[in-house]
Chain A
Amino acid sequence: MIKLQNIQKVYRTDTIETLALNAINLDIAKGEFLSIMGPSGCGKSTLLNIMGLLDMPSKGSINIADQTTHSLNDKQLAKFRNQKLGFIFQSYHLIGDLQVLDNVELPLLYRDTTAKERRRLATEALEKVGLSNRLKHFPKQLSGGQRQRVAIARAIVGNPEIILADEPTGNLDSAMGNEIMDILLQLNRNEGTTIVMVTHDESMAQKTHRLVRLFDGSQVQ
Protein backbone atom coordinates (compact mmCIF):
# COMPACT_ATOMS: atom_id res chain seq x y z
CA MET A 1 0.00 0.00 0.00
CA ILE A 2 2.85 2.39 0.90
CA LYS A 3 6.35 1.81 -0.44
CA LEU A 4 9.19 4.13 0.52
CA GLN A 5 12.52 3.53 -1.17
CA ASN A 6 15.75 5.06 0.02
CA ILE A 7 14.07 8.16 1.37
CA GLN A 8 16.36 10.98 2.39
CA LYS A 9 15.32 14.38 3.67
CA VAL A 10 17.75 17.23 4.12
CA TYR A 11 16.81 20.65 5.48
CA ARG A 12 19.09 23.38 4.29
CA THR A 13 19.58 26.91 5.51
CA ASP A 14 22.27 29.37 4.47
CA THR A 15 24.74 27.95 6.96
CA ILE A 16 23.42 24.63 8.18
CA GLU A 17 22.45 21.39 6.50
CA THR A 18 20.41 19.00 8.62
CA LEU A 19 19.85 15.41 7.66
CA ALA A 20 16.36 14.65 8.96
CA LEU A 21 15.88 11.26 7.31
CA ASN A 22 18.42 8.94 5.80
CA ALA A 23 17.94 5.85 3.68
CA ILE A 24 14.47 4.95 4.87
CA ASN A 25 13.02 1.89 3.20
CA LEU A 26 9.57 0.91 4.25
CA ASP A 27 6.90 -1.33 2.80
CA ILE A 28 3.51 -1.09 4.44
CA ALA A 29 0.91 -3.63 3.44
CA LYS A 30 -2.75 -2.91 2.81
CA GLY A 31 -4.70 -3.16 6.06
CA GLU A 32 -1.59 -2.97 8.19
CA PHE A 33 -1.46 -0.90 11.39
CA LEU A 34 2.08 0.40 11.76
CA SER A 35 3.47 2.54 14.53
CA ILE A 36 6.58 4.68 14.35
CA MET A 37 8.49 5.44 17.51
CA GLY A 38 11.64 7.27 18.39
CA PRO A 39 12.97 10.14 20.47
CA SER A 40 11.98 13.75 19.75
CA GLY A 41 13.66 15.13 16.66
CA CYS A 42 14.44 11.72 15.18
CA GLY A 43 12.35 12.42 12.06
CA LYS A 44 9.07 10.62 12.86
CA SER A 45 6.80 13.50 11.86
CA THR A 46 8.97 14.28 8.84
CA LEU A 47 8.54 10.69 7.69
CA LEU A 48 4.80 10.88 8.23
CA ASN A 49 4.61 14.17 6.30
CA ILE A 50 6.49 12.58 3.42
CA MET A 51 4.12 9.59 3.45
CA GLY A 52 1.23 12.06 3.50
CA LEU A 53 2.67 13.99 0.54
CA LEU A 54 2.75 17.13 2.67
CA ASP A 55 6.49 17.33 2.21
CA MET A 56 8.80 16.14 -0.52
CA PRO A 57 11.84 13.93 0.10
CA SER A 58 15.24 15.20 -1.00
CA LYS A 59 15.93 11.75 -2.44
CA GLY A 60 14.09 8.47 -2.93
CA SER A 61 10.73 7.44 -4.25
CA ILE A 62 7.28 7.06 -2.78
CA ASN A 63 4.63 4.77 -4.09
CA ILE A 64 1.22 4.92 -2.51
CA ALA A 65 -1.74 2.81 -3.62
CA ASP A 66 0.15 1.85 -6.80
CA GLN A 67 0.79 5.48 -7.66
CA THR A 68 4.28 6.90 -7.94
CA THR A 69 3.91 10.35 -6.53
CA HIS A 70 7.01 12.31 -7.58
CA SER A 71 5.52 13.24 -10.95
CA LEU A 72 2.29 14.66 -9.54
CA ASN A 73 1.79 18.42 -9.61
CA ASP A 74 0.30 20.45 -6.76
CA LYS A 75 -3.28 20.00 -7.91
CA GLN A 76 -2.87 16.26 -8.47
CA LEU A 77 -1.18 15.85 -5.10
CA ALA A 78 -4.08 17.69 -3.43
CA LYS A 79 -6.60 15.43 -5.14
CA PHE A 80 -4.59 12.35 -4.20
CA ARG A 81 -4.43 13.40 -0.55
CA ASN A 82 -8.14 14.13 -0.57
CA GLN A 83 -9.14 10.75 -1.96
CA LYS A 84 -6.55 8.33 -0.57
CA LEU A 85 -5.34 9.79 2.72
CA GLY A 86 -6.81 10.81 6.04
CA PHE A 87 -4.86 12.83 8.62
CA ILE A 88 -5.06 12.92 12.40
CA PHE A 89 -2.88 15.38 14.30
CA GLN A 90 -1.78 15.62 17.90
CA SER A 91 -3.26 19.12 18.20
CA TYR A 92 -6.44 18.10 16.33
CA HIS A 93 -6.31 21.01 13.83
CA LEU A 94 -10.02 21.67 14.03
CA ILE A 95 -11.27 25.02 12.71
CA GLY A 96 -12.55 26.80 15.79
CA ASP A 97 -15.05 28.94 13.88
CA LEU A 98 -16.85 25.95 12.41
CA GLN A 99 -19.23 23.58 14.13
CA VAL A 100 -18.31 19.92 14.54
CA LEU A 101 -20.39 18.83 11.55
CA ASP A 102 -18.84 21.51 9.31
CA ASN A 103 -15.34 20.50 10.44
CA VAL A 104 -16.02 16.90 9.50
CA GLU A 105 -17.45 17.90 6.13
CA LEU A 106 -14.27 19.78 5.18
CA PRO A 107 -12.53 17.09 3.05
CA LEU A 108 -15.74 16.58 1.08
CA LEU A 109 -15.79 20.26 0.10
CA TYR A 110 -12.88 19.51 -2.20
CA ARG A 111 -14.85 16.74 -3.91
CA ASP A 112 -17.78 16.85 -6.26
CA THR A 113 -20.44 16.03 -3.66
CA THR A 114 -23.75 17.68 -2.90
CA ALA A 115 -24.39 19.48 0.39
CA LYS A 116 -26.94 16.81 1.32
CA GLU A 117 -24.49 13.99 0.66
CA ARG A 118 -21.77 15.79 2.62
CA ARG A 119 -24.09 16.15 5.55
CA ARG A 120 -25.06 12.49 5.44
CA LEU A 121 -21.48 11.25 5.26
CA ALA A 122 -20.30 13.60 8.01
CA THR A 123 -23.15 12.54 10.29
CA GLU A 124 -22.30 8.88 9.67
CA ALA A 125 -18.63 9.49 10.44
CA LEU A 126 -19.52 11.24 13.68
CA GLU A 127 -21.82 8.36 14.62
CA LYS A 128 -18.88 5.98 14.15
CA VAL A 129 -16.81 7.92 16.68
CA GLY A 130 -19.75 8.29 19.07
CA LEU A 131 -20.30 12.03 18.63
CA SER A 132 -23.68 12.12 16.92
CA ASN A 133 -24.99 14.25 19.81
CA ARG A 134 -22.36 17.00 19.30
CA LEU A 135 -23.01 17.99 15.68
CA LYS A 136 -23.75 21.65 16.40
CA HIS A 137 -21.06 22.18 19.02
CA PHE A 138 -17.98 24.26 18.39
CA PRO A 139 -14.57 22.65 19.09
CA LYS A 140 -13.98 24.82 22.15
CA GLN A 141 -17.10 23.31 23.72
CA LEU A 142 -15.59 19.81 23.55
CA SER A 143 -13.04 17.94 25.66
CA GLY A 144 -9.65 16.95 24.22
CA GLY A 145 -10.80 13.36 23.61
CA GLN A 146 -13.95 14.57 21.88
CA ARG A 147 -11.93 16.92 19.70
CA GLN A 148 -9.67 14.10 18.66
CA ARG A 149 -12.72 11.98 17.83
CA VAL A 150 -13.97 14.82 15.64
CA ALA A 151 -10.57 14.83 13.93
CA ILE A 152 -10.86 11.07 13.37
CA ALA A 153 -14.35 11.54 11.92
CA ARG A 154 -12.88 14.17 9.57
CA ALA A 155 -10.12 11.76 8.59
CA ILE A 156 -12.50 8.91 7.77
CA VAL A 157 -15.38 10.87 6.22
CA GLY A 158 -13.92 10.57 2.75
CA ASN A 159 -13.37 6.83 3.22
CA PRO A 160 -9.60 6.96 2.61
CA GLU A 161 -7.51 3.82 2.22
CA ILE A 162 -4.79 5.15 4.50
CA ILE A 163 -4.89 7.10 7.75
CA LEU A 164 -1.78 8.90 8.94
CA ALA A 165 -1.90 9.77 12.62
CA ASP A 166 0.73 12.01 14.19
CA GLU A 167 0.71 11.33 17.93
CA PRO A 168 -3.10 11.13 18.11
CA THR A 169 -3.05 10.39 21.84
CA GLY A 170 -0.19 12.77 22.67
CA ASN A 171 -2.40 15.48 24.19
CA LEU A 172 -4.77 13.14 26.00
CA ASP A 173 -4.81 11.38 29.36
CA SER A 174 -4.48 7.61 29.30
CA ALA A 175 -8.22 6.87 29.47
CA MET A 176 -8.99 9.17 26.56
CA GLY A 177 -5.90 7.96 24.75
CA ASN A 178 -7.15 4.38 25.05
CA GLU A 179 -10.55 5.43 23.71
CA ILE A 180 -8.93 6.99 20.65
CA MET A 181 -6.70 3.99 20.17
CA ASP A 182 -9.72 1.66 20.33
CA ILE A 183 -11.41 3.70 17.59
CA LEU A 184 -8.33 3.44 15.39
CA LEU A 185 -8.02 -0.31 16.03
CA GLN A 186 -11.69 -0.77 15.14
CA LEU A 187 -11.23 1.20 11.95
CA ASN A 188 -8.28 -0.96 11.03
CA ARG A 189 -10.02 -4.17 11.92
CA ASN A 190 -13.51 -3.47 10.59
CA GLU A 191 -12.85 -1.24 7.60
CA GLY A 192 -9.45 -2.60 6.65
CA THR A 193 -7.98 0.89 6.71
CA THR A 194 -4.20 1.04 6.59
CA ILE A 195 -2.99 3.13 9.51
CA VAL A 196 0.42 4.64 10.17
CA MET A 197 0.74 6.17 13.62
CA VAL A 198 3.56 8.15 15.14
CA THR A 199 3.63 7.78 18.91
CA HIS A 200 5.78 8.21 21.95
CA ASP A 201 3.68 5.77 23.93
CA GLU A 202 5.13 2.25 23.97
CA SER A 203 1.86 0.73 25.20
CA MET A 204 -0.04 2.22 22.27
CA ALA A 205 2.62 1.07 19.83
CA GLN A 206 2.40 -2.47 21.21
CA LYS A 207 -1.25 -2.62 20.13
CA THR A 208 -0.33 -2.16 16.47
CA HIS A 209 0.77 -4.83 13.99
CA ARG A 210 4.28 -3.57 13.52
CA LEU A 211 6.61 -1.08 15.12
CA VAL A 212 9.28 0.91 13.34
CA ARG A 213 11.88 2.74 15.39
CA LEU A 214 13.80 5.74 14.18
CA PHE A 215 16.94 7.26 15.62
CA ASP A 216 18.66 10.33 14.21
CA GLY A 217 16.77 10.01 10.97
CA SER A 218 17.61 6.38 10.39
CA GLN A 219 15.50 3.30 10.75
CA VAL A 220 16.83 1.14 13.59
CA GLN A 221 14.04 -1.45 13.81
Chain B
Amino acid sequence: MIKHLFKLIWNKKKQNFLLITEIFVSFMVIFAVFTLVVNYYQNFKQPMGFEYDRVWVINYQSDVKIKDKDSLDIYYKTMLGNIKAMPPVQGVSFASSNVPFSTNTHMNNADYKKVHVNRVNYYTVGDTYNKVLGMKLTEGRWFGKQDDAATVKPTIINQSLRQQLFGSGKAIGEKIGGEGSKRSVIGVVQDVKAKGDYQEAGLAMYERIDTSSNDGRGRILVKINDKADAAFESRLYKLMASNSNNSGIEIEHLTDKRKTMNNTTLIPMMILLIVACFLIINVALGLFGVLWYNINKRKGEIGLRRAIGASGNSVSGQLVTESMILATLALIIGTFFAIQFPLLNVFGLAASVYLVAIALSVIFIYLLVLVCSLYPGKQAAAILPAVALHEE
Protein backbone atom coordinates (compact mmCIF):
# COMPACT_ATOMS: atom_id res chain seq x y z
CA MET B 1 0.00 0.00 0.00
CA ILE B 2 2.85 2.39 0.84
CA LYS B 3 4.34 1.87 -2.63
CA HIS B 4 0.91 2.54 -4.13
CA LEU B 5 0.62 5.77 -2.13
CA PHE B 6 4.11 6.86 -3.17
CA LYS B 7 3.08 6.30 -6.78
CA LEU B 8 -0.10 8.31 -6.26
CA ILE B 9 1.86 11.17 -4.65
CA TRP B 10 4.54 11.09 -7.35
CA ASN B 11 1.92 11.20 -10.11
CA LYS B 12 0.39 14.24 -8.41
CA LYS B 13 3.73 15.91 -7.81
CA LYS B 14 2.63 19.27 -9.17
CA GLN B 15 -0.28 19.50 -6.73
CA ASN B 16 1.85 18.19 -3.89
CA PHE B 17 4.79 20.50 -4.55
CA LEU B 18 3.20 23.47 -2.77
CA LEU B 19 2.23 21.42 0.24
CA ILE B 20 5.73 19.94 0.49
CA THR B 21 7.20 23.45 0.19
CA GLU B 22 4.91 24.72 2.94
CA ILE B 23 5.92 21.89 5.27
CA PHE B 24 9.59 22.41 4.39
CA VAL B 25 9.48 26.14 5.19
CA SER B 26 7.66 25.41 8.45
CA PHE B 27 10.31 22.87 9.35
CA MET B 28 13.11 25.40 8.79
CA VAL B 29 11.40 28.02 10.97
CA ILE B 30 10.65 25.47 13.69
CA PHE B 31 14.25 24.29 13.43
CA ALA B 32 15.49 27.86 14.03
CA VAL B 33 13.21 28.23 17.06
CA PHE B 34 14.18 24.87 18.51
CA THR B 35 17.88 25.60 17.94
CA LEU B 36 17.53 28.75 20.04
CA VAL B 37 15.45 27.02 22.70
CA VAL B 38 17.76 23.99 22.93
CA ASN B 39 20.84 26.21 23.01
CA TYR B 40 19.39 28.37 25.79
CA TYR B 41 18.22 25.31 27.71
CA GLN B 42 21.59 23.59 27.47
CA ASN B 43 23.28 26.79 28.66
CA PHE B 44 20.71 27.19 31.43
CA LYS B 45 21.49 23.69 32.70
CA GLN B 46 25.18 24.55 33.10
CA PRO B 47 26.28 25.87 36.51
CA MET B 48 26.83 29.63 36.75
CA GLY B 49 30.38 29.04 37.96
CA PHE B 50 30.24 31.91 40.46
CA GLU B 51 28.03 33.53 43.11
CA TYR B 52 26.31 36.77 42.19
CA ASP B 53 24.13 37.14 45.30
CA ARG B 54 25.11 40.08 47.48
CA VAL B 55 27.79 41.25 45.07
CA TRP B 56 27.71 44.92 44.13
CA VAL B 57 29.56 46.61 41.32
CA ILE B 58 30.98 50.10 41.81
CA ASN B 59 31.48 51.92 38.54
CA TYR B 60 33.82 54.88 38.99
CA GLN B 61 36.05 57.18 36.94
CA SER B 62 39.67 56.20 37.45
CA ASP B 63 41.38 59.54 36.65
CA VAL B 64 43.87 59.81 39.49
CA LYS B 65 46.83 62.04 38.54
CA ILE B 66 49.46 60.27 40.69
CA LYS B 67 52.49 59.49 38.52
CA ASP B 68 54.67 57.62 40.99
CA LYS B 69 53.88 53.91 40.66
CA ASP B 70 54.38 53.04 44.34
CA SER B 71 52.19 55.98 45.41
CA LEU B 72 49.51 54.90 42.97
CA ASP B 73 49.64 51.36 44.33
CA ILE B 74 49.29 52.68 47.86
CA TYR B 75 46.41 54.93 46.79
CA TYR B 76 44.39 52.04 45.36
CA LYS B 77 45.21 49.70 48.23
CA THR B 78 43.98 52.36 50.64
CA MET B 79 40.78 52.76 48.62
CA LEU B 80 40.11 49.01 48.82
CA GLY B 81 41.09 48.97 52.50
CA ASN B 82 38.60 51.73 53.32
CA ILE B 83 35.80 49.83 51.58
CA LYS B 84 36.71 46.55 53.22
CA ALA B 85 36.75 48.22 56.63
CA MET B 86 33.01 48.93 56.35
CA PRO B 87 31.14 46.39 58.52
CA PRO B 88 28.86 44.68 55.93
CA VAL B 89 31.72 44.17 53.43
CA GLN B 90 33.08 40.65 53.21
CA GLY B 91 35.36 41.04 50.23
CA VAL B 92 36.41 43.57 47.65
CA SER B 93 38.33 43.45 44.38
CA PHE B 94 39.21 45.59 41.40
CA ALA B 95 37.98 44.37 38.02
CA SER B 96 37.98 45.48 34.42
CA SER B 97 34.76 46.92 33.02
CA ASN B 98 33.57 43.54 31.67
CA VAL B 99 32.24 42.38 35.04
CA PRO B 100 29.62 39.60 35.05
CA PHE B 101 26.29 40.51 33.41
CA SER B 102 27.68 43.63 31.79
CA THR B 103 27.41 44.21 28.07
CA ASN B 104 31.11 45.13 27.89
CA THR B 105 33.30 42.56 26.20
CA HIS B 106 37.08 42.44 25.88
CA MET B 107 38.43 39.84 23.50
CA ASN B 108 41.86 38.33 22.98
CA ASN B 109 43.44 35.36 21.24
CA ALA B 110 45.31 32.45 22.77
CA ASP B 111 48.03 30.34 21.15
CA TYR B 112 49.67 27.21 22.35
CA LYS B 113 52.07 25.40 20.03
CA LYS B 114 50.03 24.97 16.82
CA VAL B 115 46.66 25.60 18.45
CA HIS B 116 45.23 29.05 17.81
CA VAL B 117 42.06 30.07 19.61
CA ASN B 118 40.09 33.21 18.77
CA ARG B 119 37.43 35.06 20.73
CA VAL B 120 38.71 34.52 24.24
CA ASN B 121 37.09 36.78 26.86
CA TYR B 122 39.84 38.76 28.52
CA TYR B 123 39.47 39.94 32.11
CA THR B 124 41.85 41.95 34.27
CA VAL B 125 41.18 41.21 37.90
CA GLY B 126 42.41 41.74 41.41
CA ASP B 127 43.93 39.18 43.78
CA THR B 128 40.63 38.62 45.60
CA TYR B 129 38.35 38.60 42.53
CA ASN B 130 37.83 34.82 42.78
CA LYS B 131 36.84 35.04 46.44
CA VAL B 132 34.41 37.93 45.91
CA LEU B 133 32.66 35.96 43.15
CA GLY B 134 33.08 32.54 44.77
CA MET B 135 34.80 31.12 41.68
CA LYS B 136 36.08 27.58 41.90
CA LEU B 137 39.65 26.72 41.00
CA THR B 138 39.96 23.31 39.40
CA GLU B 139 43.75 23.39 38.99
CA GLY B 140 46.65 25.50 40.23
CA ARG B 141 46.17 28.71 42.18
CA TRP B 142 44.79 32.27 41.98
CA PHE B 143 46.95 35.40 41.73
CA GLY B 144 48.91 36.46 44.80
CA LYS B 145 51.92 38.39 46.06
CA GLN B 146 54.30 35.77 44.63
CA ASP B 147 53.32 37.06 41.17
CA ASP B 148 54.76 40.55 41.88
CA ALA B 149 58.17 39.44 40.73
CA ALA B 150 57.08 37.07 37.96
CA THR B 151 59.23 37.30 34.83
CA VAL B 152 56.46 35.85 32.61
CA LYS B 153 52.99 37.31 33.08
CA PRO B 154 50.84 34.85 35.02
CA THR B 155 47.43 34.01 33.63
CA ILE B 156 44.46 31.96 34.70
CA ILE B 157 42.20 30.31 32.13
CA ASN B 158 38.78 28.74 32.32
CA GLN B 159 37.99 25.08 31.82
CA SER B 160 36.74 25.48 28.22
CA LEU B 161 39.90 27.28 27.10
CA ARG B 162 42.00 24.71 28.93
CA GLN B 163 40.23 21.96 26.97
CA GLN B 164 40.81 23.69 23.63
CA LEU B 165 44.45 24.51 24.27
CA PHE B 166 45.69 21.49 26.16
CA GLY B 167 43.04 18.79 25.83
CA SER B 168 43.81 16.23 28.50
CA GLY B 169 47.45 17.34 28.76
CA LYS B 170 49.09 19.39 31.49
CA ALA B 171 48.07 23.06 31.69
CA ILE B 172 49.76 24.49 34.78
CA GLY B 173 53.16 26.00 33.96
CA GLU B 174 52.56 25.94 30.20
CA LYS B 175 53.23 29.12 28.22
CA ILE B 176 50.52 30.53 25.99
CA GLY B 177 50.39 33.55 23.68
CA GLY B 178 52.65 34.78 20.87
CA GLU B 179 56.25 35.96 20.92
CA GLY B 180 56.66 38.96 23.21
CA SER B 181 53.38 38.37 24.97
CA LYS B 182 53.99 35.00 26.59
CA ARG B 183 51.91 34.18 29.62
CA SER B 184 52.32 31.35 32.06
CA VAL B 185 49.22 29.43 33.09
CA ILE B 186 49.10 29.31 36.88
CA GLY B 187 45.51 28.21 37.39
CA VAL B 188 42.33 26.90 35.83
CA VAL B 189 38.87 27.99 37.00
CA GLN B 190 35.44 26.60 36.41
CA ASP B 191 33.57 28.19 33.46
CA VAL B 192 31.70 31.35 34.43
CA LYS B 193 28.43 32.25 32.65
CA ALA B 194 29.21 35.96 32.67
CA LYS B 195 26.51 36.84 30.13
CA GLY B 196 23.57 35.42 32.05
CA ASP B 197 21.82 32.11 32.54
CA TYR B 198 21.09 31.49 28.86
CA GLN B 199 24.39 32.40 27.22
CA GLU B 200 27.26 29.96 27.12
CA ALA B 201 30.29 30.62 29.29
CA GLY B 202 32.62 30.74 26.31
CA LEU B 203 36.40 30.91 26.62
CA ALA B 204 38.03 33.11 29.25
CA MET B 205 41.43 34.16 30.46
CA TYR B 206 42.13 36.28 33.56
CA GLU B 207 45.13 38.51 34.11
CA ARG B 208 46.26 40.32 37.18
CA ILE B 209 45.71 44.06 37.35
CA ASP B 210 48.94 45.99 37.14
CA THR B 211 49.19 47.35 40.67
CA SER B 212 51.10 50.41 39.55
CA SER B 213 48.76 51.53 36.76
CA ASN B 214 45.31 53.06 36.35
CA ASP B 215 44.50 50.57 33.58
CA GLY B 216 42.01 47.76 34.11
CA ARG B 217 40.51 49.17 37.28
CA GLY B 218 37.20 50.48 35.93
CA ARG B 219 35.09 48.55 38.42
CA ILE B 220 35.20 47.45 42.04
CA LEU B 221 33.33 44.32 43.08
CA VAL B 222 32.09 44.30 46.66
CA LYS B 223 30.79 41.23 48.45
CA ILE B 224 28.50 42.23 51.27
CA ASN B 225 26.62 40.34 53.94
CA ASP B 226 22.85 40.30 54.32
CA LYS B 227 22.91 43.30 56.67
CA ALA B 228 23.83 45.69 53.90
CA ASP B 229 20.96 48.09 53.29
CA ALA B 230 20.22 51.35 51.50
CA ALA B 231 21.94 53.34 54.26
CA PHE B 232 25.09 51.33 53.74
CA GLU B 233 24.84 51.85 49.98
CA SER B 234 24.64 55.58 50.62
CA ARG B 235 27.71 55.48 52.88
CA LEU B 236 29.57 53.46 50.28
CA TYR B 237 28.67 55.99 47.63
CA LYS B 238 29.93 58.87 49.79
CA LEU B 239 33.16 57.04 50.54
CA MET B 240 33.80 56.44 46.85
CA ALA B 241 32.94 60.05 46.02
CA SER B 242 35.42 61.34 48.59
CA ASN B 243 38.09 58.84 47.49
CA SER B 244 37.92 59.34 43.76
CA ASN B 245 36.93 62.98 43.98
CA ASN B 246 34.34 62.87 41.21
CA SER B 247 30.65 62.35 40.75
CA GLY B 248 30.69 59.61 38.07
CA ILE B 249 29.96 56.88 40.58
CA GLU B 250 27.34 54.25 40.09
CA ILE B 251 26.56 51.25 42.28
CA GLU B 252 24.75 48.30 40.74
CA HIS B 253 23.71 44.93 42.16
CA LEU B 254 24.71 41.82 40.20
CA THR B 255 21.29 40.26 40.84
CA ASP B 256 19.66 43.20 39.01
CA LYS B 257 22.22 43.09 36.24
CA ARG B 258 21.55 39.36 35.82
CA LYS B 259 17.82 39.98 35.36
CA THR B 260 18.49 42.69 32.80
CA MET B 261 20.93 40.48 30.92
CA ASN B 262 18.53 37.51 30.93
CA ASN B 263 15.73 39.71 29.61
CA THR B 264 18.01 41.01 26.87
CA THR B 265 18.65 37.41 25.86
CA LEU B 266 15.11 36.12 26.20
CA ILE B 267 13.11 38.95 24.62
CA PRO B 268 14.31 38.30 21.04
CA MET B 269 13.59 34.61 21.53
CA MET B 270 10.10 35.42 22.83
CA ILE B 271 9.45 37.61 19.79
CA LEU B 272 10.65 34.80 17.51
CA LEU B 273 8.46 32.32 19.40
CA ILE B 274 5.39 34.51 18.96
CA VAL B 275 6.12 34.94 15.24
CA ALA B 276 6.71 31.19 14.97
CA CYS B 277 3.43 30.47 16.77
CA PHE B 278 1.51 32.60 14.27
CA LEU B 279 3.34 30.86 11.45
CA ILE B 280 2.53 27.43 12.88
CA ILE B 281 -1.14 28.37 13.22
CA ASN B 282 -1.11 29.54 9.61
CA VAL B 283 0.61 26.38 8.46
CA ALA B 284 -1.78 24.22 10.47
CA LEU B 285 -4.79 25.99 8.97
CA GLY B 286 -3.21 25.74 5.52
CA LEU B 287 -2.55 22.03 5.89
CA PHE B 288 -6.00 21.47 7.29
CA GLY B 289 -7.55 23.41 4.42
CA VAL B 290 -5.52 21.63 1.74
CA LEU B 291 -6.35 18.21 3.18
CA TRP B 292 -10.00 19.13 3.54
CA TYR B 293 -10.05 20.38 -0.06
CA ASN B 294 -8.32 17.17 -1.22
CA ILE B 295 -10.96 15.07 0.44
CA ASN B 296 -13.78 16.99 -1.18
CA LYS B 297 -11.99 16.85 -4.51
CA ARG B 298 -11.38 13.14 -4.14
CA LYS B 299 -14.85 12.09 -3.04
CA GLY B 300 -15.25 9.95 -6.16
CA GLU B 301 -11.98 8.16 -5.45
CA ILE B 302 -12.98 7.66 -1.82
CA GLY B 303 -16.33 6.23 -2.90
CA LEU B 304 -14.63 3.94 -5.38
CA ARG B 305 -12.14 2.69 -2.81
CA ARG B 306 -14.99 1.99 -0.40
CA ALA B 307 -16.82 0.09 -3.16
CA ILE B 308 -13.89 -2.11 -4.05
CA GLY B 309 -12.97 -3.11 -0.52
CA ALA B 310 -11.66 -0.26 1.62
CA SER B 311 -13.24 0.15 5.04
CA GLY B 312 -13.86 3.63 6.48
CA ASN B 313 -10.80 3.25 8.68
CA SER B 314 -8.56 2.23 5.82
CA VAL B 315 -9.69 5.26 3.79
CA SER B 316 -8.96 7.48 6.78
CA GLY B 317 -5.63 5.70 7.30
CA GLN B 318 -4.74 6.17 3.65
CA LEU B 319 -5.31 9.93 3.78
CA VAL B 320 -3.34 10.30 7.01
CA THR B 321 -0.53 8.13 5.59
CA GLU B 322 -0.45 10.22 2.41
CA SER B 323 -0.03 13.36 4.54
CA MET B 324 2.71 11.69 6.55
CA ILE B 325 4.51 10.66 3.35
CA LEU B 326 4.31 14.25 2.10
CA ALA B 327 5.66 15.41 5.47
CA THR B 328 8.46 12.83 5.21
CA LEU B 329 9.47 14.11 1.77
CA ALA B 330 9.50 17.71 3.06
CA LEU B 331 11.45 16.63 6.15
CA ILE B 332 14.06 14.81 4.08
CA ILE B 333 14.74 18.04 2.17
CA GLY B 334 14.57 20.09 5.38
CA THR B 335 16.90 17.78 7.27
CA PHE B 336 19.38 17.92 4.40
CA PHE B 337 19.63 21.70 4.83
CA ALA B 338 19.45 21.62 8.63
CA ILE B 339 22.25 19.07 8.92
CA GLN B 340 24.59 21.52 7.15
CA PHE B 341 24.54 23.72 10.26
CA PRO B 342 26.45 21.29 12.52
CA LEU B 343 28.57 20.06 9.59
CA LEU B 344 29.69 23.59 8.72
CA ASN B 345 29.76 24.69 12.38
CA VAL B 346 27.50 27.65 11.66
CA PHE B 347 27.28 30.20 14.52
CA GLY B 348 29.76 28.12 16.55
CA LEU B 349 27.06 26.19 18.39
CA ALA B 350 27.65 22.65 19.58
CA ALA B 351 26.56 19.96 17.10
CA SER B 352 24.34 18.44 19.79
CA VAL B 353 22.22 21.63 19.83
CA TYR B 354 21.47 21.32 16.11
CA LEU B 355 20.91 17.56 16.27
CA VAL B 356 18.46 17.83 19.16
CA ALA B 357 16.72 20.75 17.38
CA ILE B 358 16.43 18.68 14.18
CA ALA B 359 14.95 15.74 16.11
CA LEU B 360 12.46 17.99 17.95
CA SER B 361 11.48 19.78 14.73
CA VAL B 362 10.91 16.47 12.92
CA ILE B 363 8.70 15.22 15.78
CA PHE B 364 6.86 18.54 15.90
CA ILE B 365 6.14 18.58 12.15
CA TYR B 366 4.96 14.96 12.20
CA LEU B 367 2.64 15.75 15.11
CA LEU B 368 1.37 18.89 13.39
CA VAL B 369 0.66 17.03 10.14
CA LEU B 370 -0.92 14.13 12.05
CA VAL B 371 -3.22 16.44 14.00
CA CYS B 372 -4.14 18.40 10.87
CA SER B 373 -4.93 15.25 8.87
CA LEU B 374 -6.78 13.27 11.53
CA TYR B 375 -10.03 15.19 11.37
CA PRO B 376 -10.25 15.39 7.55
CA GLY B 377 -9.33 11.70 7.51
CA LYS B 378 -12.13 10.95 9.94
CA GLN B 379 -14.54 12.96 7.81
CA ALA B 380 -13.45 10.98 4.75
CA ALA B 381 -14.11 7.74 6.60
CA ALA B 382 -17.65 8.91 7.32
CA ILE B 383 -18.47 9.54 3.65
CA LEU B 384 -21.11 7.09 2.43
CA PRO B 385 -19.75 5.30 -0.65
CA ALA B 386 -23.04 5.54 -2.53
CA VAL B 387 -23.17 9.31 -1.93
CA ALA B 388 -19.54 9.80 -2.90
CA LEU B 389 -19.93 7.81 -6.12
CA HIS B 390 -23.12 9.65 -6.98
CA GLU B 391 -21.46 13.08 -6.44
CA GLU B 392 -18.66 12.22 -8.85
Contacts and interface: CB of A to CB of B under 8 A. Distances in A.
B3 A78 contact: no
A110 B301 contact: no
A109 B304 CA distance: 13
B308 A154 contact: yes
Interface in B363-392: 384-386, 389-390, 392
Interface string A42-54: 0001100100101
Nearest to A49: B386
Contacts of A98: 7-8, 11
Contacts of B305: 106
B300 interface: yes
Q: Which bracket fits the contact residues of A?
A: 20 to 34
B306 A75 contact: no
Given A54-B306, A98-B8, 20 more contacts: A46-B386, A54-B303, A54-B386, A54-B389, A74-B312, A74-B313, A75-B311, A75-B313, A82-B308, A82-B309, A87-B304, A87-B308, A93-B389, A102-B4, A106-B304, A106-B308, A109-B4, A110-B309, A111-B309, A158-B308
Interface string B96-140: 000000000000000000000000000000000000000000000
A95 interface: yes
Interface string B303-324: 1111111111110000000000
A91 interface: yes
19 contacts: A45-B390, A54-B307, A54-B389, A55-B384, A77-B311, A78-B306, A78-B309, A78-B310, A79-B309, A83-B309, A87-B304, A87-B308, A95-B301, A97-B11, A98-B7, A107-B308, A109-B1, A110-B310, A115-B3
B309 A95 contact: no
A81 B303 CA distance: 13
Instruction: Specify the main secondary structure of chain A where it touches its partner.
Output: helix
B13 to A, nearest CB: 10
A107 B309 contact: yes
Nearest to A157: B308
Contacts of A77: 311
Interface residues of B, number: 27
B12 interface: yes
Contact of B389 (A89, A97, A102, A115): A89
Question: Most A CB atoms within 10 A — which of B8, B301, B384?
Answer: B301
Contacts of B8: 95, 97-98
B380 to A, nearest CB: 13
Nearest to A160: B308
